[in-house]
Chain A
Amino acid sequence: GAGVSQSPRYKVAKRGQDVALRCDPISGHVSLFWYQQALGQGPEFLTYFQNEAQLDKSGLPSDRFFAERPEGSVSTLKIQRTQQEDSAVYLCASSLILAGGGYTGELFFGEGSRLTVL
């Protein structure tokens, strides 16, 4: 597809259950970002990949959160032992960054994965 694709769009999990959220960025986009957006709030940074390298994971709220992008394209955000406070929309965004660094690209967002933990 032409845009950033996320799945599932909606996920209901029981507290304690593990969940995996998938992001398929725009083909060729080097950079991939994950964000958490609580109801009525702006997105909060979770983690950033450049190709397969996770350059910044400072926003991950706890060690229950894990993200990977093993081949530098599709990324998975995994949340273990989900808690009610994990309920949010998880947004993925991708952009093109020139080799050698320097941000020049537009930022493209997926539709998000809405997680509800009961």
Chain B
Amino acid sequence: KNEVEQSPQNLTAQEGEFITINCSYSVGISALHWLQQHPGGGIVSLFMLSSGKKKHGRLIATINIQEKHSSLHITASHPRDSAVYICAVFSNTGNQFYFGTGTSLTVIP
């Protein structure tokens, strides 16, 4: 059983398209992260959310605590957005993070 489920697993988009990646989780959380991992690269934290919505450039992240669901949106996608996007939640009943398996995004010029 996965505490964090992401969809889709793989996503291919044309440059300029609006992209949505979804994350659902089953545990109580104190924070949710959206992470970005480029091929062969390290992991970078894009957002940390505990409620509502955050925006950074072309990236928008939302969270609905009641529904235990978060979305990451990319507006005007660009080939440099190609990466794996990982949702991770910090459990409020334990001292650990649970990670989704990631969404592999490819943006074609």
Which A residues fall within an 8 A CB radius of B? 33, 35, 41-45, 48, 50, 55-56, 58-59, 91, 93, 102-104, 106-112
The 7 closest A-B CB pairs, nearest first, are A109-B43, A42-B101, A42-B99, A111-B42, A43-B99, A103-B90, A42-B102
**A47 — nearest CB in chain B belongs to which residue?**
B96
Give the secondary structure class of B's interface. Answer: strand
With A109-B44, A110-B42, A111-B42 as contacts: A103 and B31 at CB distance below 8 Å = yes
B99–A44 contact, CB under 8 A?
A: yes
Known: A43-B88, A103-B90. 9 other contacts (CB 8 A): A35-B99, A43-B43, A45-B97, A50-B95, A56-B94, A56-B95, A109-B44, A110-B42, A111-B41
- Is B107 close to A, CB under 8 A? no
**What is the CB-to-nearest-CB distance from A5 to chain B, in angstroms, rounded to a whole number?**
11
B101–A41 contact, CB under 8 A?
A: yes
With A103-B30, A103-B31, A107-B88 as contacts: A112 and B95 at CB distance below 8 Å = no
**What is the CB-to-nearest-CB distance from B63 to chain A, in angstroms, rounded to a whole number?**
15
B42–A107 contact, CB under 8 A?
A: no
A106–B45 contact, CB under 8 A?
A: yes
**What is the CB-to-nearest-CB distance from B42 to chain A, in angstroms, rounded to a whole number?**
4
- Is B61 close to A, CB under 8 A? no
With A108-B45, A111-B42 as contacts: A59 and B86 at CB distance below 8 Å = no
**A41 — nearest CB in chain B belongs to which residue?**
B101
Q: List 21 A-B contacts (CB under 8 A).
A: A33-B97, A41-B101, A41-B102, A42-B100, A42-B102, A43-B88, A43-B99, A44-B99, A45-B96, A55-B95, A56-B94, A56-B95, A56-B96, A59-B96, A91-B43, A103-B30, A106-B45, A106-B48, A107-B45, A109-B45, A111-B41
